[in-house]
Structure 1
């Protein structure tokens, strides 16, 4: 035993021995992080072997760079490179915990557009165990500083260093071959970054993403109008005609789109200790004048809220990496809801958001979408304690937005983006009116409180619509933009749903979000059709009597008898009214029974659905990455001129004043130029003893 330890120490006192120790510890650390911090869906001995094996090639290549240098510098370079790789791993752990995905170059590129208030989110995400990724670096540094291992000053031949580098690339080739045998077409057809990390490791994923990002830039430069042929052929063959019962029934009405931040469908009719958490939304959901969809799913990727807006306004999917609103919102050509409604039906279009205008690049993307007005944080009065997390508290935001809503010439299309029910679900004591959950997961326990607060703000808004008379001539579209509680909180989710344990089917159904359309005289009811955010715009267009037959849109009218009821998720998984595929498992939709040994017929059905999903996502990406809409001449539609729009406060207010004089149809004008703002009642404690003053141009 003593002799073996002596031989081990002797080996570690060589540069190669120390290098192999660094590689080994790095591999162990990476495998630990992959297994415990990421939900990669590793199953079976082969996948576990690949998960451990894929940590080695990248370590040999990157850490091996230090072997090309001499003396002590070589040793410390190993630790510096290890520390840098560990920091990248650490960053991805934090990012994955919130977004269930890995960092991409597009996310980094767009980080400035979504950086506001992220500090609070990171503090809520970080855990002491996360710093274990630096443990090996610290141990190795102490070993060197206290001379437990001697520095080998002998010259390490370049050919030996090159051999190790070559070995790293050879092992990567072996890794890729084994991965392809277990998951064919891994790098060519997958929509899920989890697969890349699971099979090839984080370093390989990062390089793959960098190559793909660069490739996308080249794709846009080389794109041409011929690439639209396959897109138009697919959309034509999958067009779902309007439901004649509903077509055009909402034409000419004002449209309020209420963005219910992070709200999930399970909260509808949810009770805590016998108390309704969302009584106002529940009442609206069950109204005879509300079309409510109980099998409606979010379909966002890394862009989350931005992806939801992209689908809502364009019926185009967000990208598999980053946010399309950030990467393409400024430069791409769009044929969006605001521009369509303004040009075809004469709508005034405006978006309201109580945060900085640059968040998710909205101040640029909205110009591309054709929004005439964007009322952001600078348009609102400054009130003490008015903000939490990502902007104005919902009750304050909703009330103060009406100051501008009442000035919009009717009909108008107004989107109001709430933010209080946003991670990390912060709520102050004076606004708490329901107890937090007690799941033991501090990350999610306050979600019920912020959701209840959101519901209260919606109740106050609905009361105002009744008092001001707006309700009679308005359509309300309310939707949850994405999940609020990520799949990484399984024990808490199980408690919330009243289950002992949850599986992939439960997680798939947990992606449902509320979607409802309310209008006086609308024939409502709870519709069980399966759909998602990509379907909102075609549904709205048909309700307004705008034919979407010739549009480049990837959703289908939710009310159409011809719709396929296929819901693609951004990573290539899907839900239909018959089957569900999630994280590699297949289930019977409805019963939730897992299909472990599918029949030949079922395999063919799965393949057919998968082909549709892959094609739908792929062609949407093709349109986005190639900016193909610049080549498409939509009949009766004039290309949006971004230079014609400004969201400068002074200029916008002068523009709005001029519009009111030209079109005397605003709520304020119809009320003898008297404001209805005081008709809006709120119990927001922040406004109780304050008299907010709106900024003047």
Structure 2
């Protein structure tokens, strides 16, 4: 045993021995992280073997480069490489925990557009065991520092270093061959980054994403107008006739688009400790003048809120990596709802109580054709008014009315709430319902912020009723994406009252609220399966706005021949009959898993999958190639971004001029008097300000 230990010590004191040590430790660490930190859906012995093999090839390749260096530089290189790879693994562990996805170059590129309060979010995500990914780095440094391992200054033969490099290529080739034997078309027909990491490892995925990002950056240069022809053919083949019953029934009405941050459908009608979580939304949901959808799904990818906005206002999917509003929002040509309605006589405005650059909105909204963008700089923000990702909802909605009442009617106004945003920060004075008791500290406050969001909607509804705007407006309310990610399965199971969470449960958990409310609108709960991509065609039909020739990948959800296929960004789907999620297949109605497909089922499912793949691919082609610049419509004028200016002084001056030219605003109809005194809120921060103001006057 002593001789064996001496031989090990002697081996570690060679450059090659140190290479084997650091490579082996990194390999073992990666395999453990893949199995414990990610949910890659590994099934069967073959996939287990591939998962174990996947980190090895690149580990040998990258650490093997150190064998070409001389003396201590070889050791320095391998340690620094280990630290870099470990940091990358650590970052992906944190990102995956909340978003069930891996970091992409486009995401990094756009991180500055969505970085506010990131520190608070990370603190809620981190776990002590995450830092174990750096343990091997610390160990090898200590071994060298204590001279347990001595630096080998002798020259390592280049021929042997070359053999190591060839070995890495052989391992990578074997890994790729095994991966393709288990999943054909892995790198050409997948929309899910989980598959790439599961079969090829994190380093291969990063290389793949880098190449893909570079290729996409060149697509705009190579794009041609002829590329729109097959896309047009696909859309025409899948076109449906808008529903006659709803066609133009709300023509000329104002439109309020109420963005319900991270709100999921399961909270509707749900009680906690005998108290309704969303009483105001429940009332709206069941109102006879509300068209509600109980099978409406979020379809976002990494862009989350930005993806939701892209779909709602363009009927284009978000990209498989990053956020299209960030990567392409500044430069691309769009046929967006704000621009279309603006050219039909609407005043268009977006409201967001945070910095204007969040998700690149200050640029993307110009491309979408928004006349005004009221961001954080437009509001009088006092201490206590901001929490998490922007102004608190009750204060934000109240203070937004100072601009709503000035907008010439009809207007299209999008109001983005944020208080129900992860990590669900809420002060004690703003809570009026107890947290859940799932034992998951991330999930438990969600019920409180959701309840607070609902209260803010109730206050807004009262104001609209008092001012008469409720009779002149269409309210469209939607949840933009999930609030509780799939990585909180025990908490999800407890909330839903089920024993175990299947991929079917997770698919259904992607439902978010979608309601369209207006006086006289024929309401009821529509059970059709639809998603965010379908919002624009549905709304435009209700407003009686024709969008002939636009490239829309959604369909009118009220149409009789609506196909009821919901495409998820990773290539999964929900249809009226089948659901595919996380690689598993189910009957949509019952949740029963399908393990042995009949030949007839295979054909049905293949047809649905083909539609999903073509929809995602064609939408990506439009965005990546900026193809809409080649689309010329005789009724639609392309947006000139230079026509828009969101600087506060300039925008407010423009608003005054617009009111003079078209004196149809709420404040004009109220004989020039403000209606803000009709807005009542119980926000404690506002009450405190009012009390301070009263004391100041008394003095």
State the TM-score, normalized to the length of structure 2: 0.98
- List per-residue Cα deviations over 1:240-276 (Å, max 9, x = no partner): 1111111110110000000000000000001001110
Distance 1:151 1:674 in 2: 82
Q: What is aligned with 1:562?
A: 561
Q: What is aligned with 1:665?
A: 664
Q: Is the 8 A contact 1:483 1:513 kept in 2?
A: yes
Residue 332 of structure 2 is aligned to residue 332 of structure 1: yes
Distance 1:159 1:258 in 2: 66
Distance 1:4 1:17 in 2: 15
Find the residue that maps to 1:443 and give its secondary structure: coil
Find the residue that maps to 1:320 and give its secondary structure: coil
Q: What is aligned with 1:372?
A: 371
Q: What is aligned with 1:94?
A: 94
Q: What is aligned with 1:186?
A: 186
Q: Is the 8 A contact 1:574 1:582 kept in 2?
A: yes
Distance 1:638 1:537 in 2: 18
Residue 158 of structure 2 is aligned to residue 158 of structure 1: yes
Q: Is the 8 A contact 1:542 1:548 kept in 2?
A: no
1:21-420 paired onto structure 2 within 5 Å? 21-343=21-343, 345-420=344-419
Distance 1:517 1:115 in 2: 32
Distance 1:382 1:326 in 2: 26
- List per-residue Cα deviations over 1:543-584 (Å, max 9, x = no partner): 111233421010000001111100000000000010000011
Distance 2:233 2:578 in 1: 26
Distance 1:573 1:635 in 2: 37
Q: What is aligned with 1:495?
A: 494
Distance 1:17 1:105 in 2: 35
Distance 2:164 2:414 in 1: 57
Distance 1:547 1:374 in 2: 25
Find the residue that maps to 1:651 and give its secondary structure: helix
- List per-residue Cα deviations over 1:309-334 (Å, max 9, x = no partner): 00011000000000000000000000
Where does structure 1 lack aligned partners over 5 or more consecutive residues? none
Find the residue that maps to 2:688 and give its secondary structure: coil
Q: Is the 8 A contact 1:9 1:149 kept in 2?
A: yes
Find the residue that maps to 2:528 and give its secondary structure: strand
1:557-596 paired onto structure 2 within 5 Å? 557-596=556-595
Distance 2:453 2:521 in 1: 25
Q: What is aligned with 1:638?
A: 637
Query: Which stretch has the larger CA shift, 148-157 or 281-290?
Result: 148-157
Distance 1:664 1:183 in 2: 63
Query: Which stretch has the larger CA shift, 123-132 or 353-362?
Result: 123-132
Where does structure 2 lack aligned partners over 5 or more consecutive residues? 694-699
Find the residue that maps to 2:529 and give its secondary structure: strand
Distance 1:53 1:163 in 2: 19
Distance apart, 1:37 and its partner CA: 1.1
Q: What is aligned with 2:424?
A: 425
State the TM-score, normalized to the length of structure 1: 0.98
Query: Which stretch has the larger CA shift, 367-376 or 13-22?
Result: 13-22
Distance 1:46 1:165 in 2: 26
Distance 1:81 1:8 in 2: 24
Query: Which stretch has the larger CA shift, 443-452 or 36-45?
Result: 36-45
Query: Which stretch has the larger CA shift, 164-173 or 203-212?
Result: 164-173
Distance apart, 1:96 and its partner CA: 1.0
Distance 2:150 2:121 in 1: 43
Find the residue that maps to 2:527 and give its secondary structure: strand
Distance 2:159 2:661 in 1: 79
Q: What is aligned with 2:685?
A: 686
Distance apart, 1:166 and its partner CA: 2.0
Distance 2:63 2:323 in 1: 32
Distance 1:689 1:202 in 2: 52
Distance apart, 1:600 and its partner CA: 1.0
Find the residue that maps to 2:161 and give its secondary structure: helix
Q: What is aligned with 1:478?
A: 477
Distance apart, 1:11 and its partner CA: 2.0
Q: What is aligned with 1:547?
A: 546
The number of aligned residues is 692
Query: Which stretch has the larger CA shift, 2-11 or 106-115?
Result: 2-11
Find the residue that maps to 1:575 and give its secondary structure: strand
Distance 1:499 1:562 in 2: 35
Q: Is the 8 A contact 1:390 1:420 kept in 2?
A: yes
- List per-residue Cα deviations over 1:494-538 (Å, max 9, x = no partner): 001011111000000000000000000000000000000000000
Distance 2:67 2:270 in 1: 60
Query: Which stretch has the larger CA shift, 279-288 or 57-66?
Result: 57-66
Residue 50 of structure 2 is aligned to residue 16 of structure 1: no
Distance 2:488 2:688 in 1: 40
Distance 1:322 1:687 in 2: 38
Distance apart, 1:74 and its partner CA: 1.1
Q: What is aligned with 2:531?
A: 532
Q: Is the 8 A contact 1:383 1:687 kept in 2?
A: no
Distance 2:52 2:547 in 1: 50
Find the residue that maps to 1:690 and give its secondary structure: helix
Q: What is aligned with 1:455?
A: 454
Distance 1:116 1:272 in 2: 31
Residue 676 of structure 2 is aligned to residue 677 of structure 1: yes
Find the residue that maps to 1:189 and give its secondary structure: coil
Query: Which stretch has the larger CA shift, 164-173 or 608-617?
Result: 164-173
Distance 1:254 1:584 in 2: 43
Find the residue that maps to 1:179 and give its secondary structure: helix
Distance 1:15 1:311 in 2: 55
Distance apart, 1:635 and its partner CA: 2.6
Distance 1:48 1:80 in 2: 30
Q: Is the 8 A contact 1:239 1:549 kept in 2?
A: no
Distance 1:558 1:129 in 2: 46
Q: What is aligned with 1:504?
A: 503
Distance 1:528 1:652 in 2: 42
Find the residue that maps to 1:550 and give its secondary structure: coil
Find the residue that maps to 2:294 and give its secondary structure: strand
Distance apart, 1:289 and its partner CA: 0.4
